[in-house]
Amino acid sequence: METFGPEQLRATMVAYRDLLRAHQDRLNRLNVYPVPDGDTGTNMALTLESVVAGLDGTDTAGVQKAVVHGSLMGARGNSGVILSQILKGLAEGLGGGDVGPDRVADALLGASRLADAAVMRPVEGTILTVARDGAKAADGARNGSLVDMLDAASAAAATSLEHTPELLAVLAEAGVVDAGGAGFVLLIDALLHVADDRPLPEAGDDGSLAGLPAVTPEADDAGTGHHAAGDGGRYEVMYFLEAPDDAVEGFKRSWDAIGDSIVVVGGDGLWNCHIHSDDIGGCIEAALDAGGRPRKIRVTDLHQQVADERRNRSKVTTAVVAVGAGEGIDDILRSLGVREVVAGGQSMNPSTAQILDAIEAAAAEGVIVLPNNKNVVPVAEQAVLLASRPAQVVPTRSVAEGLASLLDYDPDAGVDANHAAMVEAAKRVAWGEVTRAVRDAAGTPAGAVHEGDWLGLDHGVIAVVDADLAGAACGLLDRLVADRHEVVTVIEGDGSAPEVTTRLHEWLAKHRPDAAVDVHHGGQPLAAYLFSAE
């Protein structure tokens, strides 16, 4: 291939997503900087999931914009935000038409410069170094063929990655290369796959990247939190900031006084902001002081994340793989013992390959899969047929059924015993959701539906229609929650509101006073509320 255009960029993003999925666990185990949080691979993979989702249905003219927008809006963690700038620079540098090796080299140089500019305190020996060295080599080979130029970038990036421990003491102490840098090398692999039909590098049996040193037990301990080094604070705070562009420099100075690992990217009034700090309140107040509005605030306790990672790496008899539907729901699933969470939710159903990868990644003799969506059940059943270890599907049709089944999960019991117990537990829960109608419909079980109405779904069937969210939610609770139920779980999603949640508390206190109410923020798209009663 001598030129590279929008469709090749699209194919590169898909290949890169697949590579990050396959090597996610290895990248997580390498991660020790800037804190040993062990989630670099996960964050990079989720960032690419957002990019590819944005490309779905996009025509050729919209590929560049979709890559830029998807990477900004889907960036997760420090590594994901930096990666979003690399992808932005690559997409903008390539432009909207077919270009030759010189423009591709320029795009890689632009990607490196944007990544450097995004980090408030750049550190050598990280993805920034590897991306810069790869781009410089591409620049030096711009007069050759496209494939020769990419080969030069690939060789230089791989060499740079090998030398990262010489530049960053925490890597040398742990005996690993930089995780983000390793993720960048995979981007060049994806470019070569598209440009020259090169096979994508496979993860080894131990989860290692081809050509990289294996992670020793000592290094693995470092990568999962035993390493004491690392800058920054206990909490990772991320949010989107709506603020005037000229206020952002002052905002970053405020953050500089209270944290580390600061990355702020975006423009035109919308910024994706990341920091590690001990002062959660101060991180949010800085946005208000800048005259901005923070939204979609996410806070991760890195210490707890490390503890969870260590627990997840201990082998059990039976592990659980579950399909999630929002960051809050993913956290709840993990708190109940789920080892591997696959991104999912309405209109975001995972593939057989994604579920199979999660099954193979679980450190267990056998695996239970919770699809948590009726449309995912057949996909999960296909995945377990292809698995290399015993695996069974508990056919959960909703997150509520999945959570209920986990209450009877025993990691020390076998797959068959867990399957039987969890299937019965899922049957005992009454569940429903509140969502909004996107079009008119006639003849539903609850009568006519108009666009914008709130719908209460009882076990997936429209049972309540109301123009008011609180009315629909209370009507659904009246159907779902019986006097015998002891616990009602309310999971807030997109479209929920504090005043409506308060109304639900009041309704339950009046009409089902014997039931305890447990409220969680799930962050699931499309469903304002998920309910379960047990």
CATH number, domain at 290? 3.30.70.1710
- Find the mean pLDDT for residues 207-234: 43
- Convert 348-416 into a string of H (helix), E (strand) and C (coil): CCCCHHHHHHHHHHCCEEEEEEECCCCCCHHHHHHHHHHCCCCEEECCCCCHHHHHHHHCCCCCCCCHH
Residues 502 and 513 in one domain: yes
Residues 81 and 47 in one domain: yes
If one compares 472 and 328, the residue with the highest pLDDT of the two is 472
Query: Which positions ≥6 away from 392 have C-beta within 8 Å?
Result: 366, 367, 368, 369, 384, 415, 416, 419
Q: How far apart are CA 244 and CA 264, in angstroms?
A: 13
Q: How far apart are CA 57 and CA 281, in angstroms?
A: 40
Among 257, 277, 302, the domain boundary falls at 302
Strand, coil or helix: what is 469? helix
Residues 321 and 378 in one domain: yes
What percentage of the chain reaches a pLDDT higher than 70? Answer: 90
Q: Give the up-direction half-sphere exposure of residue 283: CA atoms within 13 A in the CB hemisphere.
A: 27
Find the range with the poorest average confidence among 48-57, 96-105, 520-529.
520-529
The predicted-structure confidence for 351-372, as pLDDT tens digits, reads as follows 888 899 889 888 889 999 999 9
Model pLDDT, residue 307: 62
329 with 525: CB under 8 angstroms? no
Model pLDDT, residue 395: 96
The CATH number of the domain where 470 resides is what?
A: 3.30.1180.10
In a domain, 309, yes or no: no
Q: Which long-range contacts (CB under 8 A, 24 or more apart) does 66-70 make?
A: 67/9, 67/13, 67/91, 68/92
User: Which one, of 351, 313, 2, 47, lies nearest residue 150 by Cα?
Assistant: 2
Per DSSP, the chain holds a count of helices (H) and strands (E) of 21, 16
* DSSP one-letter code for 119: B
In a domain, 374, yes or no: yes
Among 398, 427, 456, the domain boundary falls at 427
Model pLDDT, residue 301: 78
Reply yes or no on whether the pLDDT at 381 is more than 60.
Answer: yes
In a domain, 1, yes or no: no
The predicted-structure confidence for 390-425, as pLDDT tens digits, reads as follows 999 999 998 889 998 998 999 999 999 999 999 999
Residues 359 and 329 in one domain: yes
Residues 30 and 172 in one domain: yes
417 with 368: CB under 8 angstroms? no
In a domain, 51, yes or no: yes
The predicted-structure confidence for 123-143, as pLDDT tens digits, reads as follows 899 999 999 999 999 999 999
Axis crossing angle, helix 146-162 with helix 179-196, rounded to the nearest 10: 160
Q: How far apart are CA 109 and CA 100, in angstroms?
A: 15
The structure's pTM equals 0.60
Q: What is the DSSP string of 155-224?
A: HHHHHHHHTHHHH-HHHHHHT---HHHHHHHHHHHHHHHHHH-PPPPPP-TTSPPTTSPPPPHHHHHIII
In a domain, 116, yes or no: yes
The CATH number of the domain where 159 resides is what?
A: 1.25.40.340
Residues 210 and 105 in one domain: yes
432 with 399: CB under 8 angstroms? no
Residues 239 and 134 in one domain: no
In a domain, 307, yes or no: no
If one compares 175 and 71, the residue with the highest pLDDT of the two is 71
pLDDT interval class at 77 (50, 70, 90)? confident
pLDDT interval class at 309 (50, 70, 90)? low
Model pLDDT, residue 35: 45
Model pLDDT, residue 78: 86
Reply yes or no on whether the pLDDT at 37 is more than 70.
Answer: no
What percentage of the chain reaches a pLDDT higher than 90? Answer: 63
Residues 367 and 442 in one domain: no
Model pLDDT, residue 258: 93
Residues 524 and 389 in one domain: no
Model pLDDT, residue 407: 87
Residues 419 and 442 in one domain: no
Reply yes or no on whether the pLDDT at 345 is more than 70.
Answer: no
In a domain, 308, yes or no: no
Q: Give the up-direction half-sphere exposure of residue 138: CA atoms within 13 A in the CB hemisphere.
A: 29
Domain that holds residue 197: 6-226
Among 367, 397, 427, the domain boundary falls at 427
Number of structural domains (the chain) is: 4
If one compares 427 and 302, the residue with the highest pLDDT of the two is 427
- Pair of tokens at residue 255: 């953050």
359 with 321: CB under 8 angstroms? yes
Reply yes or no on whether the pLDDT at 501 is more than 60.
Answer: yes
Residues 160 and 38 in one domain: yes
Reply yes or no on whether the pLDDT at 305 is more than 80.
Answer: no
231 with 261: CB under 8 angstroms? yes
| Mean pLDDT across the chain | 87
The predicted-structure confidence for 423-476, as pLDDT tens digits, reads as follows 999 998 999 999 999 889 888 899 999 999 999 999 889 999 999 999 999 999
Q: How far apart are CA 457 and CA 434, in angstroms?
A: 6
pLDDT interval class at 203 (50, 70, 90)? confident
In a domain, 310, yes or no: no
User: Which one, of 74, 75, 114, lies nearest residue 91 by Cα?
Assistant: 114
Strands 340-342 and 270-277: unpaired
Residues 158 and 214 in one domain: yes
